[in-house]
Amino acid sequence: MKALVRFFCLVTALSFGGTALADNFTDGVKFFRNQQYQRALFEFQQGTKTDDPRCQYAVGLMYAIGNHLGQDDEKAFIWIKKAAEQNLPHAQNYLGYMYADGRGTPKDETRAAEMYRKAADQQLPDAQYNLATLYASGNGVQKDPKEAVRLLRRASSRGLPEAQYALGIMYATGFGVRQNDEQAVYWYHQAAKKGDAKAQNKLGMLLMQGRGAQKDEIKAASWFKRAAEQHYATAEYNLARLYESGRGVPENKVTAIDLYQRAASRGNTAASERLKKISIAGNDTIFQRRATQQGTVSAR
């Protein structure tokens, strides 16, 4: 979980409605945004004295993140649990994550599922998604792919890209739902538009194969590019294959090799193998040309 990103989601979600007057929470948010973490912590701590669950959760997250305070999972767990007990859905969801990961408390996936469910019942998309992953895997709950799909639909309808991508996977594989390539394309596209690199890559693959939509190698290449720009190794490899063959993009062996090398540096074994085959085939001129373009001097 990207805790700092989740914190700003908290700020957005909890700074709603009510009074326009300043309080400890809104003052703490202001200081946090200005990276004045000690002052933010002070304001949040003051708010905990009145049992404000927002401030309890914020203090817990600051200890979980460790913004110049010293990261402390046990303190984080204590404060987030206090907020969760006051029925704050964001805190319940994060507490579920802590139980699932064994952070600040012994690992307990059953308790994780309970916390996710409480937050999911309050229509929190992140919690609906997290609970769905447990039903899909059977961790902490009895495995139930259909329930996973139901929860993913709820989270997807609220625009959560992770859930939309997961729902695409379910439709593409027929897990918990009747296999349907058109629906897979639809949900991958919803997540891809929001910048989900995995969804962008999957959408590109289906467009290359003409599954669920008309075959379109140009559009496929475009989606691979978007995912590759986010340093997603699988997409870098797929895009490299297109540049090497000239499918959907102008043929460019130099660009292909550059992409293979990027993907290989991120642990993509297919890219590493492809580079070996290119080298064995004796395409040394490609490497020399790339070196010249980068302004390096060949040892040969």
Give the pLDDT score at 242.
98
Q: How many CB atoms lie within 10 A of CB 154?
A: 18
Stronger pLDDT, 7 or 49, i.e. the higher one: 49
C-alpha neighbours within 13 Å on the C-beta side of residue 273: 4
User: pLDDT band for position 282 (50/70/90)?
Assistant: low
d(CA 151, CA 160): 12
Three-state SS letters, 273-294: HHHHHHHHCCCHHHHHHHHHHC
C-alpha dist (Å) from residue 53 to 10, 40, 45, 257, 267: 12, 15, 11, 53, 43
Give the pLDDT score at 17.
41
CB distance 262 to 236 below 8 Å: yes
**SS3 of residue 186 by DSSP:** helix
Q: pLDDT > 70: what percent of the chain?
A: 86
This prediction's pTM: 0.86
Look at residue 80 and tell me whether its pLDDT is greater than 80. Answer: yes
d(CA 9, CA 196): 17
User: pLDDT band for position 153 (50/70/90)?
Assistant: very high
Look at residue 122 and tell me whether its pLDDT is greater than 60. Answer: yes
Look at residue 177 and tell me whether its pLDDT is greater than 50. Answer: yes
d(CA 117, CA 124): 10
d(CA 21, CA 26): 9
Q: How many CB atoms lie within 10 A of CB 274?
A: 21
Give the pLDDT score at 293.
47
CB distance 203 to 189 below 8 Å: yes
Can you tell me the mean pLDDT for 184-193?
98
For residue 281 the two structure tokens come to: 């085939």
Give the pLDDT score at 14.
52
Phi, psi of 181 (to 5 degrees): -65, -35
Burial of 147 (0-12, 13-18, 19+ CB in 10 A): middle
pLDDT (tens digit per residue) in 224-263: 999 999 999 999 999 999 999 999 999 999 999 999 999 9
**Among 252, 254, 256, 251, residue whose Cα is nearest residue 239:** 256
Can you tell me the mean pLDDT for 164-176?
98
